[in-house]
Structure 1
Amino acid sequence: MRKIIVFAFLFIGIFASKAQVTFNPGLRAGLSLSTISETHADYKPDFYVGGFGEINISKRYALQPEINYIRQGSNNVARNFIDPNTQTERTVYQDLQISYLSIGLINKFKFGQGLEVQFGPALDVLLDDNLVFRKTNNDLSFVTGLAYKMPSGLGFEIRFKKGLYDVLDSDYYHNNSNEHYFFGDYNTNVNFQIGVTYSFDVK
């Protein structure tokens, strides 16, 4: 095992010495459109903002660690319950909000003049929410998207971010009489991001 670890470090060292690795810090911000799957609810418009460090390993590939603040959730989520005063079934609509500190590790493949294909995992740490009951606090997501970066460092991006964990206690939002508001058992975060980035040129 020790020999394997030593070999791995030697390989990384040789690769890094031959590759002209560069580092560019940057900022990203934009529109967040999100919902929670299997809720028959509306998309919630909000925002995201964050910073990143682009590690350019080759001309065509970069690894980008990033930290983002993202406001997600879902609008007009229907909840059915029995009114304790009248003993009748009622429906109320609620806007659900979940705020995360998202820590991502994005792979970036570069094509042509500034076009980028991006994908990678992200760990979403819960900061705040207005959910009465939830299945889990944090989330694990997969991110994919496209970006265009100009020589000035200004860029434009569109991403799709899909949570893997069941975040909502669907029993609390159940509906027994109207299938239009039926909740599934697997309620995950779904998030679209449209925004701008700026990379700083570090000599």
Structure 2
Amino acid sequence: MTSQPFNKFRIMMKFTMVTSVLFCTVAANAQTWHFGVKADISYSALKGEGIKNKFAPGFQAGGFATYNITKQWAIQPELLYSFSQYKKGSDFLTYYNNYGRSAAGENISLASISVPLLVRYNLNKTLSFLAGPQYSYLVWDDESLLKNDRQAFRNSEFSANIGVQVNIEKVGFYARYNKGLSDINDIDDRYEWKSSHVQAGVAVRFQ
């Protein structure tokens, strides 16, 4: 658990600016790439013993690049700042009595740098489908679940994305589902915690 909370909006804006510069640099050196920025509202839930399996709001922001292989097929890597919220279950100490803090707060907040690598299929100019794996690295957490300030969540997570996007000129409106494939419970090996995320947002292509 980090000792000093940070301003989430400020961090998001800085990350978005850095990501935009990165993708602009890529585009300037390789004109076959298209690039842009995106942001979405994300509802996240965590399934596992000692955790409430209930969706709570969060967000994502960052940039993307698209490389068109054919008129219909493309590769779309993304670089995102992801903020998710979860809730501790009332039965947490039932499962983690040896490690858990009796005075632990209910709210859990996690921030990660996420890198989806998506395959994009353009049915036509308006409608696209996307799917692919994602790697996320935990960069900040605000939770007090365990004794001695021990971190309850693993730093790395692998997940899978599937989604659809409606394109109007250079603006895309998308909906996406992200399913965690790896266990992010770092307390012990007895129980698994796996995440789910439902996302809806806007992507703006600059080139």
Match of 1:191 in 2: 197
**Structure with the greater alpha carbon radius of gyration:** 1
Instruction: Decide which of 153, 164, 168 is 2:181's aligned counterpart.
Output: 164
Higher strand proportion = 1
Do the aligned partners of 1:64 and 1:105 also contact (CA within 8 Å) in 2?
yes
Q: Report the Cα offset of residue 81 of structure 1.
A: 3.8
Instruction: Decide which of 123, 127, 135 is 1:123's aligned counterpart.
Output: 135
Match of 1:105 in 2: 117
Instruction: Call closer, same or farther: CA 1:129–1:61 in 2, change over 3 Å.
Output: same
TM-score (ref. length: structure 2): 0.70
Instruction: Decide which of 134, 141, 160 is 2:159's aligned counterpart.
Output: 141
Q: Report the Cα offset of residue 72 of structure 1.
A: 1.5
Match of 2:107 in 1: 95
Q: Report the Cα offset of residue 123 of structure 1.
A: 0.9
Do the aligned partners of 2:138 and 2:154 also contact (CA within 8 Å) in 1?
no
In the alignment, the residues of structure 1 paired with residue 92 and residue 160 of structure 2 have an alpha-carbon distance, to the nearest angstrom, of 32
Instruction: Call closer, same or farther: CA 1:42–1:91 in 2, change over 3 Å.
Output: farther
Match of 1:25 in 2: 35
Do the aligned partners of 2:58 and 2:85 also contact (CA within 8 Å) in 1?
no
In the alignment, the residues of structure 2 paired with residue 150 and residue 77 of structure 1 have an alpha-carbon distance, to the nearest angstrom, of 43
Q: Report the Cα offset of residue 140 of structure 1.
A: 0.9
Do the aligned partners of 1:24 and 1:200 also contact (CA within 8 Å) in 2?
yes
Match of 1:178 in 2: none
Do the aligned partners of 1:145 and 1:160 also contact (CA within 8 Å) in 2?
yes
Over residues 74-103 of structure 1, what are the superposed CA-to-partner deviations in whole Å (9 max), with x where a residue is unaligned?
136335449xxxxxxx79761211111001
Instruction: Call closer, same or farther: CA 1:200–1:135 in 2, change over 3 Å.
Output: closer
- The number of aligned residues is 161
CA RMSD in angstroms comes to 2.4
Q: Report the Cα offset of residue 195 of structure 1.
A: 0.3
In structure 1, list runs of 5 or more residues that go unmatched: 1-20, 83-89, 172-183
Match of 1:12 in 2: none
Do the aligned partners of 2:52 and 2:86 also contact (CA within 8 Å) in 1?
no
TM-score (ref. length: structure 1): 0.71
Q: Report the Cα offset of residue 122 of structure 1.
A: 1.0
Do the aligned partners of 1:78 and 1:93 also contact (CA within 8 Å) in 2?
no
Match of 2:19 in 1: none
2:51 is aligned with 1:45: no
In the alignment, the residues of structure 2 paired with residue 113 and residue 80 of structure 1 have an alpha-carbon distance, to the nearest angstrom, of 49
The one-letter amino acid of 2:45's match is T
